[in-house]
Amino acid sequence: MALIFRTAMQSVGLLLSFLGWILSIITTYLPHWKILNLDLNEMENWTMGLWQTCVIQEAVGMQCKDFDSFLALPAELRVSRILMFLSNGLGFLGLLVSGFGLDCLRTGESQRDLKRRLLILGGILSWASGVTALVPVSWVAHKTVQEFWDENAPDFVPRWEFGEALFLGWFAGLSLLLGGCLLHCAACSSHAPLASGHYAVAQMQTQCPYLEDGTADPQV
């Protein structure tokens, strides 16, 4: 029963980490981190991502323009690019390492301690990937709120608001954190049964010579 529960925990943790990693990649390239609705022209909406700004018009559709210079971007967008790339890389490494530590994987069955360490390392990498995804999304959201409630800006100036990518990034970061927690818990729960199992095998090996000779075990 414990083995089934541990295997299920590992599978759910890996699936959550994989889902968070995919959503983190989509968030990185989705040009909907901020949206701008123009009251004077309701048929035109603006969106902004980490790489480009897009305008959506009913007659023309979506037209996007890449940012000309990385250094000309605001600080939160520059740092967000780096952190999202880091999150994607850490998430991939976490999935790769955790996959080799699963109990359902037949390879390396004799190296239980190594597989347990791989699961712990994979969980830590998933945590780090989740944190590095939540930081840029939350920073951009914080700056958007500050600019929206800026009293120095005139009332007729349009304000940027939250885009769909921010909510997708929050969900991706939380999925990576939860997946890493489940992987770490599964690895820690497999430690105690593993130790008792090794002790039982060692005890059987010490008793086998005496059973074959028909003599009594001197330890008894």
Residue 47 forms part of a structural domain: no
What is the three-class DSSP state of 114? helix
Residue 40 forms part of a structural domain: no
- Full residue range of the structural domain in which residue 17 is found: 1-30+74-189
Residue 194 forms part of a structural domain: no
Within 10 Å of residue 7's Cβ, how many Cβ atoms?
15
Residue 126 forms part of a structural domain: yes
Provide the angle, in degrees to the nearest 10, between the axes of the packed helices 75-100 and 112-148.
Answer: 160
Alpha carbon 103 to its chain's center? 21
CA atoms within 13 A on the CB side of 151: 0
* CATH number of residue 128's parent domain: 1.20.140.150
Number of domains forming the structure of the chain: 1
pLDDT at residue 194 is higher than 50: no
Residue 26 forms part of a structural domain: yes
Residue 152 forms part of a structural domain: yes
Residue 50 forms part of a structural domain: no
The pLDDT assigned to 143 comes to: 95
More confident residue, 5 or 81: 81
Q: How many Å apart are CA 201 and CA 210, to the nearest integer?
A: 15
Q: In 70-216, where does DSSP find H-type helix?
A: 75-100, 112-148, 164-189, 191-213
DSSP 163: -
**Which residues are within 8 A (CB) of 169 and not within 5 positions of it... i.e. 6 or more apart?**
23, 24, 27, 133, 134, 136, 137
Q: How many Å apart are CA 190 and CA 98, to the nearest integer?
A: 14
Give the lowest-confidence range in 75-79, 95-99, 179-183, 213-217.
Answer: 213-217
The pLDDT assigned to 196 comes to: 40
What is the three-class DSSP state of 13? helix
Tokens of 147: 């600019």
The pLDDT assigned to 115 comes to: 85
pTM of the prediction? 0.80
Asked if residues 133 and 87 have their Cβ atoms less than 8 Å apart, the reply is: yes
Asked if residues 36 and 45 have their Cβ atoms less than 8 Å apart, the reply is: yes
Residue 196 forms part of a structural domain: no
Q: In the predicted model, what is the mean pLDDT of residues 57-69? A: 87
pLDDT at residue 212 is higher than 60: no
